[in-house]
Amino acid sequence: MIAPRRLLTALIAWTVVSPAAGAAAQASTATISANVATLAKLTLSRSTAAFPDADPDTMPQVAATGGAITISVKARARPATVVLLTVQASGDLRSGLSVIPATNITWTATGTGFVAGTVSAVSPVTLASWTGSGLRSGTQSLFFRNLWTHPTGTFTVSLVYTLTSP
Amino acid sequence: MTKAVWSGVITAAAVLLCSTQAMAQQTDTKTVTITATVNAKAKLTVGPAAVSFADADPDVTPVLPASAAVTVDVKSRTTTNGAVTLTVQSGGNLVSGSDSIAIANLTWTAAGTGFAAGTMATTAVSLGGWTGGGTQSGTQSYLLANSWDYKTGTYTATITYTLTAP
């Protein structure tokens, strides 16, 4: 024997959850949008590199101490566009009034998309390029062209790495 | 109806805004500071290590030429506009037992940029001079004044070459 009150409650609940016979159907849409913007993130394993003094005859190319710089690139780009990593010197190597052209710094590179090159103080030089989004990594080994004609001193310059994701 | 229009306008604006952000080119930059140490260096190569003068009639050959010209190779690294000097100095007169010939009888001619002729002495005499570092090469041809006054014997002297790069 079901109590009348419980029977009424069950009836109301069934009425609510079951589609009413003969009721009009209503379609509704929800528009989902996800904003995927272009991004560029560049990570270098070191922020300094030093070339020690050496005899130009025995070491015409001086490698930077500490080994290669590991470069990690994260880029989100439009389809079929080129993600570009460039290097440019802030100027020539300077020690007081003495100057050594930045072109005396060269590099070799490993990793997909990375290429060897010569530093320029005039314009950016391509270190790596890829098509489209992705995570990439490689290494860059810096070298200093060691010449007898270089003036003596402790020379410094900054290398600016720029990652562009179009 | 009006509500639907405004809703569409807002949606379009939102989509436009999102796509503008997505289309914007993104860049990331990092800097590596380079230091290069370039110290002063001087490297001198002289050859052959010994030259000789053959005996001759002073009337026929008043000046004796050495058996070979001395080739002098200079490599130096110095400050900008630093004065690189090359000097020669005899350890004493030409000596044969207790006999001697004054070292001033030994002279030389020279060929090569920055090299100069001179007369040997027991003090340093300039053989070459240059401004700034680099590599230089020249020859030094020794001459010995031949005299009836010389006592017979085999005379020797040691010449010291000194290259200085400040």
Question: What pLDDT digit, counting tens, does each position of B59-105 carry?
Answer: 999 999 999 999 999 999 999 999 999 999 999 999 999 999 999 99
- Prediction ipTM score: 0.82
> What pLDDT was estimated at residue B23?
61
Does any CB of chain A come closer than 8 Å to the CB of residue B59? no
Is B28 domain-assigned? no
Does any CB of chain A come closer than 8 Å to the CB of residue B129? no
Q: Is A93 exposed, middle or buried (0-12, 13-18, 19+ CB in 10 A)?
A: buried
Helix (H, G, I), strand (E, B) or coil at B3: helix
> Domain-by-domain residue ranges, chain A?
39-150
Is residue B48 in a domain?
A: yes
Instruction: State yes or no: pLDDT of B113 exceeds 80.
Output: yes
Query: Which of B7, B30, B38 is the best mutation test for A, with the most CBs of A within 10 A?
Result: B38
Residue A31 CA neighbour count, 13 Å, CB half: 9
Question: What pLDDT is recorded for position B24?
Answer: 80
Domain assignment present for residue B6? The answer is no
Interface test with A, best of B10, B20, B37, B43 (most A CBs within 10 A): B37
Window 68-107 of B: residues touching A by CB (8 A cutoff) are 75-80, 82
Look at residue B120 and tell me if it is in a domain.
yes
Which residue in A has a C-alpha nearest to residue B8's C-alpha?
A: A31
The distance of B105 to chain A (nearest Cα, Å) reads: 36
User: Between chains, do A162 and B132 touch, taking CB under 8 Å as contact?
Assistant: no
Other beta carbons within 10 angstroms of residue B100's beta carbon come to 16
Q: B135 lies in a domain?
A: yes
Tell me if residue A102 falls in helix, strand or coil.
helix
B37 in contact with A, Cβ within 8 Å: yes
Whole-angstrom distance, CA of residue A49 vs CA of residue A142: 8
Q: Is residue B147 part of a domain?
A: yes
CA distance B102 to B117: 18
CA distance B21 to A122: 31
Q: What pLDDT does B72 receive? A: 98
**Mean model confidence pLDDT for chain B:** 91
Say if residues A102 and A121 touch (Cβ distance below 8 Å): yes
**Is B157 within a domain?**
yes
Q: What is the mean pLDDT of residues A10-38?
A: 68
CB-based contacts of B11, cutoff 8 Å, min separation 6: A31
- CA of A60: how far to CAs of A43, A56, A63, A145, A147, in Å? 30, 5, 10, 6, 7
Q: Do A50 and B34 touch (CB under 8 A)?
A: yes
pLDDT at A1 over 50: no
How many domains are contained in chain B?
Answer: 1
Token digits of residue B129: 């001079």
Return the ∠ at Cα A22 (arms to A17 and A27), rounded to 5°. Answer: 70
Please report, for residues B64, B94, B100, B109, B148, the alpha-carbon distance to residue B59 in angstroms, rounded to integers and kept in the order given: 11, 21, 21, 22, 9
B17: nearest CA partner in chain A: A35
A2-22 pLDDT, tens digit per residue, is 455 555 454 444 444 444 455
Chain B residues lying within 8 Å of A39, measured CB to CB? 26
Looking at the DSSP assignment, which residues form a beta bridge with residue B76?
B42, B134
Is the distance from CB of B155 to CB of B89 less than 8 angstroms?
A: no
- CA distance, residue A95 to nearest chain B CA (Å): 9
Residue B117 inside a domain? The answer is yes
Helices within A18-111 (DSSP H only): none
Q: Do B34 and A51 touch (CB under 8 A)?
A: yes
Q: Which of B19, B23, B35, B44 to mutate to test the interface with A (most CBs of A within 10 A)?
A: B35
Question: Can the peptide bond before residue A52 be classed as cis, meaning omega within 30 degrees of 0?
Answer: no
CATH number at residue B45: 2.60.40
Nearest-CA distance from B142 to chain A in Å?
29
